[in-house]
Amino acid sequence: MTYAALDPSPFDPHSLEAALDLLASGPLVVLTGAGLSTDSGIPDYRGPGRPPRTPMLYGEFVSGLAAQQRYWARSHLGWGRMRHAEPNAGHHALVALDPELLITQNVDGLHERAGQRSVVALHGRIAEVVCLDCRAVSSRAALHDRMTAANPGFAERHAAVAVNPDGDVEMDDPEVIAAFVVPACEECGGVLKPHVVFFGENVPADRVERCYAAVDGLAATGGTLLVAGSSLTVMSGFRFVRRAAKAGTPVVVVNRGATRGDDLATYKLEVGCSELLRELAGRRVAAARPGA
């Protein structure tokens, strides 16, 4: 692959080559964000040109029916499209790379669908739903069908709205939202919520500890932490970069646009995630061949 294809501007191409050499051998832990899924048609949160937005906070969601109608009306439209997204070349390249652990901030489930061996979905998966009363976990697809039946023609009437990376859409018509019917839990009649971590909630401690253990292991094995497609704005991902850097572990950040971890990165590359990961996978596979 040529440097023109990767286009590391404004960074020196020698940094790109050095970063690829570093990543081509030794253990890897990979942290991915919304930028990895843009090639699957799912927009990112904070990429160049993206308007600022504030997702619904957990406290707002549990405040009552009005907030839940607002969330589910928008999410019903978004997930109806998001569910059809397919893993892209970057997801498949990561399967070939087979890192010690893949930590994702994404809720789209595309790493799992691509066949990734070892994944921690920090923020959960949008394809599951949890009842806040009885804690039963159920299928989002089944709830989607129930919502479609309870709100006939809703998706067709609002087919033009723009989708956000968490499955939300841009829609704030109060009359439309107030008329949206939100089904209850089939087990107990309780309130249903996507089985994802909202802003205002904590990532489950067992997920964080598993990720810390993998990142800590890199220092002992001469490995590298690779960040692909994340601005690292949210502490849930940034803490792993900070921990790796504190331990002296090399960190490579691949993201179009500035990130919170740029000052901690050994190399920062403003290149496409899919292109970089495909190149890296090819190099690691070649290096692993007998006689290479």
Q: Report the C-alpha gap between 254 and 211 in whole angstroms.
A: 19
From residue 104, alpha-carbon distances to 84, 110, 145, 177, 180 in Å are 19, 10, 28, 31, 32
The answer to whether 185 is annotated as binding is yes
270, 229, 233: which is closest to 34 by C-alpha? 229
Cβ 165 vs Cβ 176: under 8 Å: no
Residue 205 one-letter amino acid: A
Q: Report the C-alpha gap between 269 and 284 in whole angstroms.
A: 19
Neighbours of 231 (CB within 10 A): 26
Give me the catalytic one of 92, 111, 123, 195. 123
292, 256, 257: which is closest to 274 by C-alpha? 256
The answer to whether 211 is annotated as binding is no
Q: Is 195 a catalytic residue?
A: no
Summarize the annotated binding site for Zn(2+) as residue ranges.
131, 134, 185, 188
Summarize the annotated binding site as residue ranges.
131, 134, 185, 188
Please give the positions annotated as active site.
123
